[in-house]
Amino acid sequence: MNEEFVPGALVRHPNRDDWGLGQVQSAIGNRITVNFEHQGKQLINSDVISLILVDIDGS
């Protein structure tokens, strides 16, 4: 697991722009729970999906 995916971190799914911005709820090992704007809570396997970390300023 990458240490940058801590609770509260903002992320985007690389293949699902329609899910919107997501906020990391928890990260245990390779399992990252993210609450996305338009898709709700999703469990992401970081060995399969590389989430995109979003800077606080929105970049």
pLDDT digits (tens, 9 = 90+) for 20-58: 999 999 999 999 999 999 999 999 999 999 999 998 774
Q: What stretches of the chain show up as alpha helix (H) in DSSP?
A: none
* Number of other residues whose CB lies within 10 A of the CB of residue 19: 16
Global pTM?
A: 0.87
| Strand ranges across the sheet with 22-28 | 40-45, 31-36, 22-28, 10-12, 52-54
Residue entry with tokens 């399992």:
31
Which token pair is 57? 């300023």
| Residue 19 DSSP SS3 | helix
